[in-house]
Chains A and B, each alone.
Chain A
Amino acid sequence: MSETGRVVGRSLPRLDAPGKVTGRAVYAADFALPGMLHGRVFRSSQPHARLLRLDTTRAAAIPGVRAIVSATDVPDVRYGAAVKDEPVFAPDVVRYIGQPVAAVAAVTLQAADAAVAAIEAVYEPLPPVLDVASALAPGAPLVHEAWRSYTAIPILQRDGNVCNRARIVVGDVERGWAEADHVFEHRFTTAMVHQGYTEPRAAVAAWDSSGQVTVWSNTQLPFDVQATLADILAIAPSRIRVIVPGIGGGFGGKLRIGVEHFAALLARKSGRPVKVMTTSEEELTAAYPRQGTVIELKTGVTRDGRLTARQGRIYFDTGAFAGSGPGVASVATMVLAGPYRVANLHLEGYAVYTNKTNCGSYRAPSGPQSNFAVESQMDIIADALGIDPLELRLRNIVHEGDEGPTGQVLNAVGLEECLRRAADAIGWADRRPRPGRGKGLAIGWWTTTGGSSGVYVKINPDGTVALNTGAVEIGTAALTGAAQVLAEALGVDLADITVVSADTFSTPFDFGAQGSRTAFAVGNACRAAAAELSRKLLAQAAAQLGCPEQELALRDKHVVGRGGRVSLADLARQSQQAGGGMIAHGTFIAPGTAYDTKRVEGHVYPAFHSPSFHAHAVDLSVDEETGEVTIHRYVVAQDVGFALNPTYIEGQIEGGVAQGLGQTLSEEIVYRDGRVLNANLTDYKMPTTLDVPRIESILVEHPGRVGPFGAKGVGEPPNVEPPAAVANAIAAAAGLRITSLPITAEKIVRAAQTGGR
């Protein structure tokens, strides 16, 4: 570990822990107001159909029903992060089973449910598009006939059912094939999976007499929800206040507007506060899950194991609306390149419309799918060439000063150290200790999303510190990490800091809980605020201590000089009397990462800012009779730049791997004919205490140039490599190469019976 500070670098308990272990912490799902109504959503029963008639007469007559809203009650707006293609309620055509058609508010949930059951819709079926292949087939029905009319990010490459084609082209793959001794081509598939947060999406909305609406929501992006609501409600953002009281997990699933608009519309129409909260069935049929994919990967390699060219295409089944698809398809191309030196690249990510739920972002969007293909193929190549998979990786990985796929210059590259340490820890030399047992490796890289952060920091009259931030504490302890940075810079204890967060009315802007950025960006904004406060505190103290500011320093809750010291409490009190209080506004925006614009097309994420590098190693056994996989050990070596709080970084690694193992071995939202077959937590199988092994974390520290104390984003990366690491270990253990996620017991048994594939 590198130099550890007084506060940073230490495993201090998170600030919000006492409230969470005593049940005092209030989450959006817990939030209630007097006189509050309960809202429910009436959803499409058809994957693709014309909505001929909607009759809410019977529903409105049910006792206790106070408001019903449908397309006729809202402005004709479409919203979406990349393509504005989604209406609040289906106006004339429904595009997936579960699409909102109307919403009801009633005095009890039972009455709201009864009203939803009493709504009648008459549909005329249209031909549905149920997977990527049929969406791309010549003459396929269009999910959106009017796709050309939608507003979209201008650089997107859209065409019919393709809502973006992102591309990276480097060098000339034809030359790369010619230089290669062998060319490998494989196809991989991955399933749609859900983030699995334990708190349903929930929102309470209330309008006041001045026409302002307040929404208490468990969104990850309160400022994005505010902006989207402004469009939907056709009022100014300043009239919309979004507050996040607390959030029970999100993992990307609570980025975009979820139920806030339903609550706000129903509250406006009924004149009462309204709460809307999703059911498990709604979560698994009509949320923002991770896209299923089809991946075609072709790689050229010399006989001594040097990669000469790679061509990759990844198709995202992004559902009925673009959602996060266009961006996710872009990020995927970065991951398909791998953390490898490859001179010739032709990589494409397609976001494809189908008549399924609108897919979104899930922890390291596109990462696990793309990495599964890349790292599975690396092992296939190694085996074919008779080169050890560790050695093949060592011959091709990126190093300090190398270029990334789009030409960005890589620095603070801790990859080789991660790879060697993970391999050592798992006992790589004995890769196949006995039949049925084997070890697998996978490596990867990931970005630390920039985006701006602002904080207000105030010294209280008792010398404690208030940190006011627009960021959301999603559970990672990122705001505890940011507070550690602040405490370090101000010379106070972590326990002296109180955090107020996520209120669009009173807290400064923050880009939100996404992209592994919160501790990184808010921490840097805290450093800026602390620098400003330090200037003010030192100037004020200098007069009293009779010595120049440059001879003073912040230490142990005082401004200290040779001639004496003044407490922060005294300085804050004086400032309250004479200067309006000791307060500073700190801001941060990550500097742009230079890249070669000529290499990309349709690409909304063309560089990985402050990238992290990581290696996963797993030791497992496979029972070919039952298909059961038993994981003995799982090791993660992750370059975190600087470990602000080692305990909670381990927590990110352990949790990210656990989620990854679910996606690898058991989780899948199963569709048949456009309908989800397993929309409950009995049949959607998330890992329990009995399924997740102990996970050993090795925190590697190659400090980055931008993050606080060199910290890099840590939340998403551990979710990237589990599918490939496990697939490679299964291949080592049993000689079975499974190229489709999830790797269920059934697939293993079938592969064993058919001799390996």
Chain B
Amino acid sequence: MARLAIALEINRERHDVLVEPDRTLLDVLRSDLGLTGTKTNCLDAECGVCTVLIDGQAVNACLYLAMAAQGRAITTIEGLAPAGEGLAAGEGPAPALHPLQQAFIDHGAVQCGYCIPGMILSAKAYLDEQPRPTEAQVREALAGNLCRCTGYQKIVDAVLDAADRMAAGRSAA
């Protein structure tokens, strides 16, 4: 299959890649760009581990064609921390964390951690839409992200706490 040159804006940075038209964004992120923070599992949009943000919306990268992401702002877990604190792979000082990431740590919401990047990005997309959600709303928003370790409770608590922290951050600003 002929490969096409496309430009993707990922985590505020432009990446030029050559891709076949049927390549998924997930595959390009992981195989071509080494952004393995976006996880792979069912490849059928059932488990949510591959969740990324496209123009702020949470999508399953496993069923999203890389071509279709041209001209859109893609955010992966590697780019969630504040601008200027980008996380190069490998060595480096402890990165700055987004309030969601810090809340997940503080609430013990991380076990094996494989679902966590997708979970955090789904939560980010939802909190941008609804900054002060109820527990029921958070559960609804995360229903597409399977976690087999935690029973979800500490994840839901972390998201609710992060919402408070983000609100406090806004009012302080």
Instruction: Give A residues with C-beta under 8 Å from B.
Output: 11, 13-14, 16-27, 29-30, 32, 195-200, 246-251, 277, 279-280, 474-477, 647-648, 650-651, 654-659, 680-682, 686, 688-690, 692, 694-695
Nearest residue (CB) in A for B101 is A21
Interface residue SS majority, chain B: loop
Q: Is the CB of B114 within 8 A of A681?
A: no
Which residues of B are interface residues toward A (Cβ below 8 A)? Answer: 30-31, 35-44, 46-47, 49, 76-78, 80-81, 87, 89, 94-95, 97, 101, 104-108, 110-117, 120, 138-140, 142-156
Contacts of B31 in A (CB 8 A): 32
Residues of B within 8 Å of A648, CB to CB, are 108, 111
Whether A690 lies near B139 (C-beta < 8 A) is yes
- Taking a contact as CB atoms closer than 8 A, the residue among A14, A18, A248, A695 that contacts B94 in the complex is A18
Given A14-B108, A17-B110, A21-B120, verify A658-B97 contact (CB < 8 Å).
no
Q: For A653, give the chain B residue with the smallest CB separation.
A: B151
B120 closest partner in A (C-beta): A21
Which residues of chain B come closer than 8 Å to A200, judged between CB atoms? 40-41
**Which of B87, B116, B120 is the most central at the interface, judged by chain A CB atoms within 10 Å of its CB?**
B116
Shortest beta-carbon distance, A531 to chain B, in Å?
A: 30
- Nearest residue, chain B, Cβ from A13: B105
For the complex of A and B, 4 pairs with smallest distance between CB atoms: A23-B37, A248-B114, A475-B112, A20-B113
Name the residue on B nearest A29 (C-beta): B40
In the bound assembly, the distance between CA atoms of A680 and B45 in angstroms comes to: 11
| Chain B neighbourhood of A654, CB < 8 A | 150-154
Known: A249-B112, A647-B108, A682-B46. A689 touches B152 (CB 8 A): yes
Interface centre among B37, B81, B153 (most CB of A within 10 A): B153
Q: Is the CB of B39 within 8 A of A248?
A: yes
Knowing A280-B43, A681-B42 are in contact, say whether A198-B95 is a contact too (CB < 8 A).
Answer: no
Give the chain B neighbours of A250 by CB distance below 8 A.
112
CB distance from A248 to the nearest CB of B (A): 3
Measured in the bound complex, the distance between the Cα atoms of B115 and A26 in whole Å is 13
Please measure, in the bound complex, the distance between the C-alpha atom of A686 and the C-alpha atom of B49, giving whole angstroms.
14
CB-based contact A17/B47 at 8 Å: no
**B149 in contact with A475 (CB, 8 Å):** yes
Tell me which residues across on chain B come within 8 A of A197, comparing CB atoms: 112, 114, 148
Contacts of B107 in A (CB 8 A): 647
Q: Judge whether A249 and B105 touch: CB under 8 Å.
A: no
> CA–CA, A659 to B151, complex, Å?
8
Residue of B nearest to A30 (CB): B36
Chain A residue contacts of B148, Cβ below 8 A: 195-198, 249, 251, 655, 658-659, 686
Q: A11 to chain B: which residues have CB within 8 Å?
A: 108
Number of A-B contacts (CB under 8 A): 183
16 new A-B contacts, CB < 8 A, other than A24-B89, A27-B39, A200-B40, are: A14-B110, A16-B113, A18-B97, A18-B105, A20-B113, A21-B113, A23-B87, A199-B112, A477-B111, A651-B154, A682-B46, A686-B146, A688-B143, A692-B151, A692-B153, A694-B153
| Cβ-neighbour of B152 out of A249, A680, A692 (below 8 A) | A692
- Which residues of the other chain, B, contact A655 by a CB distance below 8 angstroms? 111, 148-151
Shortest Cβ gap from B28 to chain A (Å): 14
**Known contacts A18-B95, A249-B148, A692-B151, A650 near B108 by CB under 8 Å:** yes
Least Cβ–Cβ distance between B22 and chain A, in angstroms: 9
For A650, the chain B residues whose CB sits under 8 A away are: 108, 154
Supposing A680-B46, A686-B148, A695-B153 touch, asked if A24 and B37 sit within 8 A by C-beta, the answer is yes
Residues of chain A contacted by B89 (CB below 8 angstroms): 24
- Chain A residues lying within 8 Å of B153, measured Cβ to Cβ, are 654, 692, 694-695
Cβ contacts A to B, 27 pairs, < 8 Å: A13-B105, A13-B106, A17-B104, A21-B101, A22-B77, A22-B95, A23-B38, A23-B76, A23-B78, A30-B36, A197-B114, A199-B41, A200-B40, A277-B40, A280-B44, A475-B149, A651-B149, A655-B148, A655-B151, A657-B151, A659-B148, A682-B44, A690-B140, A692-B152, A694-B153, A695-B151, A695-B153
Given contacts A21-B110, A280-B44, A682-B44, whether A658 and B143 have CB atoms under 8 Å apart is: no
CA distance A16 to B114 in the complex (A): 12
Interface centre among A656, A657, A658 (most CB of B within 10 A): A658
Partner of A22, one of B41, B44, B101, B151: B101
* A30 neighbours in B (Cβ, 8 Å): 30, 36, 39
CA distance A651 to B104 in the complex (A): 13
Chain A neighbourhood of B156, CB < 8 A: 689
Q: Beyond A654-B153, A692-B153, is A13–B37 a contact (Cβ under 8 Å)?
A: no
Q: Which residues of A contact B39 (CB under 8 A)?
A: 27, 29-30, 198-199, 248
CB closest residue in chain A, given B92: A24
A76 to B12, CA, bound (A): 55
Q: Report Cα–Cα, A551/B89, bound state, in Å.
A: 48
CB distance from B80 to the nearest CB of A (A): 8
The answer for the CA separation of A19 and B146 in the assembled complex, in Å, is 20
A24 contacts B87, C-beta separation under 8 Å: yes
Q: Which B residues touch A474, using CB under 8 A?
A: 112
Contact partners of A20 in chain B: CB under 8 A: 110, 113, 116
**For A21, what are the chain B residues with a Cβ–Cβ distance below 8 Å?**
77, 97, 101, 104-105, 110, 113, 116-117, 120
Chain B residue nearest in CB terms to A473 = B112
Q: Which residue of B lies closest to A476 (CB)?
A: B111
CB-CB under 8 A from B35, the residues of chain A are 23
Which residue of chain A has the shortest Cβ distance to B38 in the bound complex?
Answer: A23
Is there contact, CB below 8 Å, between A247 and B112? Answer: yes
Residue among B80, B97, B151 with max Cβ neighbours from chain A (10 Å): B151
CA distance A196 to B146 in the complex (A): 9
- Interface centre among A17, A280, A475, A477, by most chain B C-beta atoms within 10 angstroms, is A17
Chain A residues lying within 8 Å of B41, measured Cβ to Cβ, are 198-200, 280
Cross-chain contact B36 with A26 (CB below 8 angstroms)? yes
CA distance A647 to B107 in the complex (A): 8
